[in-house]
Homo-oligomer: A and B are copies of this chain.
Amino acid sequence: MGADYKVAVIGLGSMGYGVASSLLRAGLTVYGYDINEAQMAKFREAGGAEGALADVAGDLDAVVTVVLNAAQTEAVLFGDGGAVPMLRKGAAVMSCATVAPDFARRMEAQCAENGVLYLDAPISGGPIRAADGALSVLASGTAETFAALKPALDGMASDVFEMGDSAGAGSAMKAVNQLLVGVHIATMAEALTFGMTQGVDPKRFYEVITKSAGTSWALENRTPHIIDNDYSPKSQVNIWPKDLGIVQDIARSAKFSAPISGAALQMYLAAQGMGLGAEDDAAIAKVYAAMAGLTLPGQE
């Protein structure tokens, strides 16, 4: 394979740029597209291939979309100048955004109408693992689709969880994971600030809880941001009203009552309402602190 395998990455944000760079490092021919021209230029300087999507699309083996949500996914695949109608028969799309399972099934069907394969492939792991080619992918699609995308999956992921043989299953598991992570981050903030009202220092909280039954991956990952007063966005607050909103949308369709993730969603909405949307998601602790009259480490 190597350079004979031609792939376009659409969306060169913090995740997509890492994916595109990892695919370059894997020796593939990689085109990078983004609405931000500077990001595209930066990627070409780093070794990205030259050419407008309309000019190269017919020659591509794969398109990997690493955009924010379902609306952006549909736009880059089927909107004005969208990729799918320009692809050759048998080319494959890997869709990495977190979307509802029904949306993924619809995209798979629309791709099939164009003779294009579709992998429902939400990713997990954050920008650092994206840059290292070490993402987790929760993927579902036909065996033919997995085979067609193998060079791309090999280059960007350390773990590919095969969730089923059609679109929807990958997105379902991603929603399950996001329900857990979203609640765990918010609960860490609730517990940390609750502890502060009882004289428990955040550093001591971290030391003790990470060795206790109360620990979670999210707590271990996010608590240091609060202790260090570092709210530069590794993962934004804005992710959570979107992803827990998808969870609630799916739950409503399924007549499934999800009260705990519903409560967590309200706290992320409050964080957005307080103007914290673009901060790291650990900033949800600022909502609790404001509501309780507490001062987090390093804050005035």
* A187 and B182 alpha carbons, distance in the complex (Å): 10
* A188 and B247 alpha carbons, distance in the complex (Å): 14
Are B213 and A217 in touch, CB under 8 angstroms? yes
Are B180 and A216 in touch, CB under 8 angstroms? yes
- Within 194-226 of A, Cβ neighbours of B (below 8 Å) are at 194-195, 197-200, 204-205, 208-209, 211-219, 221
Q: Which residue of B lies closest to A261 (CB)?
A: B190
Partner of A263, one of B178, B250, B262: B262
Q: Which residue of B lies closest to A138 (CB)?
A: B208
**Stretch of A34-42, A76-84, A167-175 lying at the B interface:** A167-175
Are A260 and B256 in touch, CB under 8 angstroms? no
If A172-B195, A208-B138, A263-B262 touch, whether A177 touches B214 (CB-CB below 8 Å) is: yes
A contacts with B, residue count (CB < 8 A):
68
What 0/1 readout, one digit per residue, does chain A (214-242) give for beta carbons within 8 Å of chain B?
Answer: 11111101000000000000000000000
Are B247 and A194 in touch, CB under 8 angstroms? yes
* A173 and B205 alpha carbons, distance in the complex (Å): 8
* A256 and B199 alpha carbons, distance in the complex (Å): 13
If A172-B198, A254-B198 touch, whether A260 touches B211 (CB-CB below 8 Å) is: no
Whether A179 is near chain B, meaning CB under 8 Å from some CB there, is yes
Are A179 and B191 in touch, CB under 8 angstroms? yes
When distances are taken between beta carbons in the complex, the residues of chain B under 8 Å from A200 are 163, 169, 172-173, 176
* A199 and B262 alpha carbons, distance in the complex (Å): 21
Q: A22 to nearest B CB, angstroms?
A: 19
Q: A123 to nearest B CB, angstroms?
A: 11
Partner of A190, one of B209, B214, B258: B258
Whether A2 is near chain B, meaning CB under 8 Å from some CB there, is no
Known contacts A179-B194, A256-B291, A257-B291; 11 additional CB pairs below 8 A are: A124-B213, A138-B212, A172-B198, A175-B194, A176-B191, A176-B192, A176-B214, A177-B209, A177-B214, A198-B250, A216-B219
